[in-house]
Amino acid sequence: MSIASISKSGPFTHAPNSVQNTMFTVLLALVPATVFNLYLFGWPAILLFTITVVACVAVEAACLALADRPVVATLSDYSAVLTGWLLAMSLPPWAPWWTGVLGAILAIALAKHAFGGIGQNVFNPAMVARVALLVSFPVVMTAWVLPHPLLSSKAPGLNQSLSITLGGNVPDSVSAASALGYVKTELSRGIPVSESLKEFSRDSALTHMPDMMDLAWGYKAGSLGETSTVLILIGGILLLMRRIISWHIPIAMLGSLFVMGSLFNYVDPARFAPGLFQVITGATFLGAFFIATDYVTSPVSKKGQLIFGIGCGVLTWLIRTFAGYPEGVAFAVLLMNGLTPIIDQYTRPRAFGRNSKGEPLQLKEKP
Amino acid sequence: MKLFPVRGGIHPDYRKEQTSEKAIVALPMPPLLFIPLQQHVGAPAQLLVSAGELVKKGQMIALCQGTISASQHAPTSGRIAEIAEVAAPHPSGLPQTTIIIEPDGKDEWADLPEPIADPFAADPQVIRDRVAQAGIVGMGGAVFPAAVKLNLGTQYKIETLLVNGAECEPYVTCDDRVMREYADEVIDGARIVARVMGAPKVVVGIERNKPQAIDAMTKAAAAFAEVEVVGVPALYPMGYAHELILAITGRETPAGKRTAEVGVVAYNVCTVRAVHQAVRFGRPLISRVVTVSGGAIREPKNVLAPIGTRIADLVEFCGGFATRPESIVNGGPMMGEPLPTLEAPVVKGTAGILALTAEEINSRPASPCIRCGNCVTICPCGLSPVEISAFVRKDNFEGAAKMGVMDCVSCGSCAWVCPSHIPLVHYFNYAKGMLNDLERERRKNERVKTLAEARIIRLEKAAEAKRAALAARKPSPENTPSGNGSEAATATTEEKVNA
């Protein structure tokens, strides 16, 4: 007996949703932060963004063709566009073109199609690419630049932008440290965190770092799409309202990172940055709302998602605080991706009429 | 009344407005009626009539046989045209033995049994017999013989009779209309059933998207202290008895047990109304209200149709098809089954006939699972459809069973919510069928093994006995081997004969 030999079962109605719809909504939610960041970092960022997305779609098409799968039908689920988009958002804005292309191959061919294509990958493709690039090319992947808004006097022209993105000729004068990187470097030079944090204030005479409000709005150095906490939050709220994601992973991740930061900052403010600083810097919000919530690589049950989110938050804090890297979101998410099958196994819901071990409920004695 | 939380559930587009404001209309007597011998769970009824015979309305034409079965009655007066094999209202469309009646147009009643004057003073057994005689089955879709269910009261202590008026399936409004138009009859029937069961309390559960039904039933119940009408959230599948019982009483029926074991029995509103008619008027179950709806039906209606009405006649009464339907569904769109032919008849369990357009069905080719987890969140049974379907796809039925596929009630919520449009119910039905086959096979093998082992022991014993007898009679060693061999051969032949 084959499955096709029994007549089609119901239901004869369906929710008005589809994979395509879901992916499209996520792309839509990314638009505010992306547009702002493309404006902030100018033409080189626009070029890199375009190259990365196109490369991802091209690699996806090639992999599908090699695997004899329907190319156009599968491409139209927008999943490759989304992977490319998220990968571009996690690259330094003025990084050379080949980071986008190599990243696309790592993300789509290695992290996704080698595992069997959409829905089969264990690790988040964009984060696999980002981490592989970071480990392989640490200098290129941490070459942050100060904001150079389009149409401003500082902004590079199209020709210079082509030279930056295609030729890798980034002028030395524009380089900047990310907030997390700055604090970490200063600490390694013996300057307490509490002192270096004073730089993030308008009152500081020495200031060359954005103040806390600028940090939140995103007027700062950082990856191509991660800088604006506020705009990413707007996209995240859209996803929550459209029920594409639930609150469990973002809140658990942000909450645990905040709690770890605040707790240790209270114990020793000289060594540990405060919780709020942890939450509004780096890729925290992008990670919490758009990367850790990736369906394929996160647990399916709500309980599992809470555990997953807490794991992401705590690991992010641990890596930022004790590891060599100033930023830890990508590593944290990948580590928790690896735990997802186990989390799923231990957080299955209780079946109706059964206890958590799967045995039928015992009848209570009648009164 | 305080309600208890239930797990999961979905909010499908109910689309009940197509028929909810349309009063029940009676179908003019069709030219032919087709009464299948089996319209219920259990054994088919035994034929009592033959071709050419004249029957009166309400006359028993097939008698229930065995413990679980239900009788059939003539829905009108007329002549038995033929006993033939006719397509059943089942996805297979396989034929089954059917009595074809040609109505004479007089609609003359047979001599009905006397009404039971005071059912609340009568012996419960008298009422059970009457319900059995009226051929009543569960009209909410389970089609379990109602009289057999009434016996639960003798085995268990029933505290609450739950009248299931949730009607959570989209489109279907027959229960809604019956509650609005015949509230008194429903309440009376419910009280009679409660009395037979020995249940001190009656609760009517109605989804809150039927406020008029709740009003009508509350009014009808006002005179009776033991009856309570409760509005429950419109959350599919609230009409699944275990779910409704959990929501109203907070009692969770253990897996593999009956609801009676937690002191609650659920009856559909149309079923208790049929009990009312059988007890108060002696009328058997010969007609029912069917919702004919869907985007492809020109004039959706709630039709009071005689049992045995050809579905084609019913559709024609509702103006026929406005557009070509993509699917004809027997029941609601969530749990209903596809109808392969319009030649099949309306039976006692037919609550709805839907002719749905492609837009309404919104079916797309399935794409790979993206593990969104929606199915896990909404599963009212607390299962993990994403994991079960992964096992089924690999034909790993034991794995699927371990993940609880047999606990699945096929409510369809997971398939409804799946963004990849994976036909999960289809997967699970397939797995259930295969697991049932495997279980049958396992039992058969076990039985064969037991028999084979018993046979070996028997043979050895027989051989032993003969050897002993032989040894006692003629203790010469050289005779033993040949004698032994021939006797074993004889035993084998005997076994074969016995087998």
CA distances B406 to A208, A345, B89, B395, B402, Å, are: 65, 19, 25, 15, 9
What are the start-end ranges of the H helices in A189-297?
Answer: 193-196, 212-217, 229-241, 248-267, 275-280, 284-286
Distance from CA of B245 to the nearest CA of A (A): 12
What is the residue-averaged pLDDT of chain B? 92
Of the residues B293, B321, B343, the one at which a domain ends:
B293
Tell me which chain B residues have a C-beta less than 8 angstroms from the C-beta of A366.
157, 263
- What pLDDT is attached to residue A363? 79
Q: Under an 8 A CB cutoff, do B426 and A360 touch?
A: no
Residues B147 and B50 reside in one and the same domain: yes
Distance CA B307, CA B36 (A): 9
Nearest CA in chain B to A8: B426
Cβ distance A329 to A322 under 8 Å? no
Which residue in B156, B377, B424, B428 has the most chain A C-beta atoms within 10 A of its own C-beta, making it the best mutation to test that interface? B377
Q: What is the model's pTM?
A: 0.89
Which residue in A295, A352, A363 has the most chain B C-beta atoms within 10 A of its own C-beta, making it the best mutation to test that interface? A352
The pLDDT of B104-131, averaged and rounded, is 92
Question: Is pLDDT at B492 greater than 60 in this prediction?
Answer: no
Q: Which of A88-97, A179-188, A306-315, B433-442 has the lowest mean pLDDT?
A: A179-188
The pLDDT of B120-136, averaged and rounded, is 93
- What pLDDT is attached to residue B499? 43
Count of Cβ atoms closer than 10 Å to residue B320 Cβ:
13
- What pLDDT is attached to residue A296? 96
Domain that holds residue B74: 16-293
Cβ distance A254 to A313 under 8 Å? yes
Say which DSSP state B261 is in: G
Tokens representing B285 are: 């179950």
Q: Which of A150-159, A358-367, B80-89, B320-329 has the lowest mean pLDDT?
A: A358-367
Residues B99 and B188 reside in one and the same domain: yes
Residues B402 and B281 reside in one and the same domain: no
Q: Under an 8 A CB cutoff, do B433 and A348 touch?
A: no
Tokens representing B149 are: 């269910």
Rounded to 5 degrees, what are φ and ψ at B419? Answer: -70, -20
Name the band, by pLDDT with cuts 50, 70 and 90, for residue B5.
Answer: very high
Of the residues B267, B293, B319, the one at which a domain ends:
B293
The pLDDT of B288-306, averaged and rounded, is 96
Say which DSSP state A107 is in: I
pLDDT tens-digit map of B431-443? 999 999 999 999 9
Q: Where is pLDDT greater, at A83 or A357? A: A83
Number of structural domains found in chain B: 2
Does B495 fall in a domain?
Answer: no
Say which DSSP state B240 is in: S
- What pLDDT is attached to residue B219? 96
Distance CA A65, CA A59 (A): 10
Which candidate, A354, A133, A65, A255, places its Cα nearest to that of B252? A354
Tell me which chain A residues have a C-beta less than 8 angstroms from the C-beta of B416.
11, 13-15
pLDDT tens-digit map of A140-159? 998 898 888 888 888 888 88
Does B183 fall in a domain?
Answer: yes
Distance CA A184, CA A192 (A): 10
Name the band, by pLDDT with cuts 50, 70 and 90, for residue B307.
Answer: very high
Name the band, by pLDDT with cuts 50, 70 and 90, for residue B298.
Answer: very high
Which candidate, B64, B60, B45, places its Cα nearest to that of B110? B60
- What pLDDT is attached to residue B117? 86
- What pLDDT is attached to residue B44? 92
pLDDT tens-digit map of A46-86? 999 999 999 999 999 999 999 999 999 889 999 999 999 99
Contact partners, residue A73, CB within 8 Å, separation at least 6: none
Does B483 fall in a domain?
Answer: no
Total beta-carbon pairs less than 8 A apart between chain A and chain B: 177
CA distances A284 to A103, A139, A255, B57, B413, Å, are: 21, 22, 11, 76, 35
DSSP H or E run through B369: none
Q: Under an 8 A CB cutoff, do A349 and B10 touch?
A: no
Q: Is the dihedral of CA A27, A33, A35, A41 positive or negative?
A: negative
Question: Is pLDDT at A283 greater than 60 in this prediction?
Answer: yes
- Which of B371, B407, B419 is nearest residue A351 as measured by Cβ atoms? B407
Q: Under an 8 A CB cutoff, do B420 and A362 touch?
A: no
Q: Where is pLDDT greater, at B332 or A215? A: B332
Q: Under an 8 A CB cutoff, do A11 and B404 touch?
A: no
β-bridge mates for residue A144, sequence order: A176
Nearest CA in chain B to A116: B368
- Which of A10, A296, A302 is nearest residue B333 as measured by Cβ atoms? A10
pLDDT tens-digit map of A202-259? 655 444 567 777 888 888 888 999 999 999 999 999 999 999 999 999 999 999 999 9
pLDDT tens-digit map of B354-400? 999 999 999 888 999 999 999 999 999 999 999 999 999 999 999 99
Residues B278 and B395 reside in one and the same domain: no
Q: How many residues does chain B have?
A: 499
- What pLDDT is attached to residue A209? 67
SS3 sequence of A273-284: CCHHHHHHCCCH
Does B349 fall in a domain?
Answer: no
The pLDDT of A17-35, averaged and rounded, is 95
Name the band, by pLDDT with cuts 50, 70 and 90, for residue A6.
Answer: very low
Q: Where is pLDDT greater, at A10 or A344? A: A344
Question: Is pLDDT at A4 greater than 50 in this prediction?
Answer: no
Q: Under an 8 A CB cutoff, do A349 and B376 touch?
A: yes
Q: What is the largest CA-CA distance in chain A?
A: 85
Cβ distance A37 to A145 under 8 Å? no
Q: At what angle do helices A302-322 and A329-346 cross, to 10 degrees?
A: 150
Nearest CA in chain B to A355: B254
Name the band, by pLDDT with cuts 50, 70 and 90, for residue B477.
Answer: low
Tell me which chain B residues have a C-beta less than 8 angstroms from the C-beta of A13.
12-13, 170, 333-334, 356, 360-362, 416
The pLDDT of B278-306, averaged and rounded, is 96
- What pLDDT is attached to residue B475? 60
Exposure string of A298-325, with b = 16+ CB inside 10 Å and e = fewer, is bbbbbebbbbbbbbbbbbbbebbbeeeb
Residues B282 and B407 reside in one and the same domain: no
Distance from CA of B237 to the nearest CA of A (A): 12
Tokens representing B197 are: 């069961």
Residues B288 and B376 reside in one and the same domain: no
Residues B105 and B219 reside in one and the same domain: yes
Does B304 fall in a domain?
Answer: no
Tell me which chain A residues have a C-beta less than 8 angstroms from the C-beta of B255.
351-354, 360-361
Four-point Cα dihedral B173, B175, B179, B180, nearest 10: 10
Does B161 fall in a domain?
Answer: yes
Cβ distance B6 to B239 under 8 Å? no
Distance from CA of B80 to the nearest CA of A (A): 33
Does B10 fall in a domain?
Answer: no
Name the band, by pLDDT with cuts 50, 70 and 90, for residue A163.
Answer: confident
Nearest CA in chain B to A19: B419
Distance CA A298, CA B467 (A): 73
Question: Is pLDDT at B486 greater than 60 in this prediction?
Answer: no
Does B430 fall in a domain?
Answer: yes
Question: Is pLDDT at A350 greater than 50 in this prediction?
Answer: yes
Tell me which chain B residues have a C-beta less than 8 angstroms from the C-beta of A77.
367
Residues B256 and B378 reside in one and the same domain: no
Query: What is the DSSP pairing of strand B25-26 with strand B301-306?
Result: parallel
Tell me which chain B residues have a C-beta less than 8 angstroms from the C-beta of A360.
254-257
Tokens 């690419």, residue located: A129
Residues B257 and B380 reside in one and the same domain: no
Residues B99 and B195 reside in one and the same domain: yes
Tokens representing A83 are: 């992977």
Residues B20 and B145 reside in one and the same domain: yes
- Which of A295, A351, A366 is nearest residue B370 as measured by Cβ atoms? A295
Query: What is the DSSP pairing of strand B72-73 with strand B60-63?
Result: antiparallel
Of the residues B260, B293, B326, the one at which a domain ends:
B293
Residues B144 and B235 reside in one and the same domain: yes
Q: Under an 8 A CB cutoff, do B370 and A119 touch?
A: yes
Which residue in A13, A22, A298, A342 has the most chain B C-beta atoms within 10 A of its own C-beta, making it the best mutation to test that interface? A13
- What pLDDT is attached to residue A7? 56
pLDDT tens-digit map of B183-233? 999 999 999 999 999 999 999 999 999 999 999 999 999 999 999 999 999
Tokens 């011998």, residue located: B37
What are the start-end ranges of the H helices in A67-114?
Answer: 71-75, 79-89, 97-104
Q: Is the dihedral of CA A246, A249, A254, A260 positive or negative?
A: positive
Question: Is pLDDT at B482 greater than 60 in this prediction?
Answer: no
- Which of B256, B334, B370 is nearest residue A11 as measured by Cβ atoms? B334
Q: Under an 8 A CB cutoff, do B371 and A19 touch?
A: no
Domain at B23, CATH number:
3.40.50.11540
Nearest CA in chain B to A2: B430
